[in-house]
Structure 1
Amino acid sequence: MANFQLTYKPFGDKAILIEWPNRIDENILKDILQFKQVIENDASKYIVEVNHAYNSILIIYKNFINDFTIKISNLSRLYKIKKTDLVLSSKLWKIPVCYDLSFGIDSEEILKSKNIDLRLLIRLHTNPVYTIYFIGFLPGFLYLGGLAEELHFPRKNNPRLHIKKGSVAIGENQTGIYPNESPGGWNIIGNSPIHLFNSSEDVPCLIKGGDKIKFYPVSLEEHLQITELVKTNTYQMESEVLSG
């Protein structure tokens, strides 16, 4: 586990915020996920939950923290312990996307601004293997890193009140999928028929931080076929286990 210069801050009466350097970086993500696992292994019975974002971990404890200095000192000690045998498991998930303009309601604006055609947009969007940094904003909303610079595009000044479930979108240097209908200010370029979050399942969201995503294009007909399979719970999202 690499050693970064971390800061530790009280966050209310029952929580501590740990922050890494303020940048999107896969080395930082790996360090965060490793330290998160160390914390959970060491003090799970004292903790309500441990959440992470691009460059931070928030630890929420069950009881009030009487002495933050002691807690922070213990966390700092844990971080400095090298865990050379700690392996993080991850998966590569392959997600179908239909880029038809009937779904990609903002694609024409992007195409015109970038002076590219739809085929190139699709190729640029499906070529990368994206890293999932964390899940937030909505349950199942994946924050992905790795969008091609040619597709970076500003968020909308006036967000929409209703974004369709499964909408695949671009916001600044990020791309993602809206797991449910919601407001949103990202630019819609397609739609995926899969469910990213299902509250009725034992594990509502199969995908987790540290996993990878690979988009692949499907036609309108294929999108409809997958939608029907999803409705009957007979669609199996393709994935493969990656080495730690």
Structure 2
Amino acid sequence: MPTTITGLVLLVILLLPGLTFVIVQERRGSEHRLTPFRETGVVVFGSVIAEMFTLGIFGVARALMPGLTPDVGRIVREGTEYARNHYVEICWWAVGLLLFSCLVAAIAALLTRNNPHPSAASAWWIMFDSWFPGENPVVGCVLEDGSYVEGRQASFNVSSDDSPDRDLVLVEPLKYRAPGAAEATPFPWGAVCISARQIVTMFVSYPLDSEVAAGVVATQVSDPAAS
């Protein structure tokens, strides 16, 4: 661990690519809670890989454009004297390489989208994203008091833990059936937020289901032998 403020700042700066990787991946996948050791390992490993790749690109640029890049050999040989004479160039290149490393980490996170194994994901993530990613299915929820709410899924908590302390947001067209009522009727509101703690049973209907059903019906009508 660094023992000076300067060392601590440099450590934080060098870990920025790995932190970028973790943040971007969390935004695009199920939020799986890692142990502090594993989370630290991901940040450090991501930073090292992104920065090694960036240094490789810098090495190629140094070989092709020696007059436009800082002289690493002189930095090693002359140390602070060369840095004082070329501090503007060195600072610009350092900031540029750091930003490029963060960009590399972000692209890596986007290309390796966090699709967890079903054993490490919540039931909500499996139903709402894993099976049919990008869809907004129609969801029906039977609540503890016997009421029923139906609407199109708009937002849900992506935590990998099936915790009751999370919410599900449904948007219009909404339907509601009061406790003891026979049928669900249209509900004249734009959105509803339902606590997972109140949900007893959840039904999900995917848009693809209706398309497949329509295709089957069309096939049967056009080909009587199919029936």
More helix, by proportion? 2
More strand, by proportion? 1
Instruction: Give the structure with higher Rg (CA).
Output: 2
Q: Report the TM-score when normalising by structure 2.
A: 0.25
Q: Which has the higher contact order (CA 8 A, sep 6+)?
A: 1
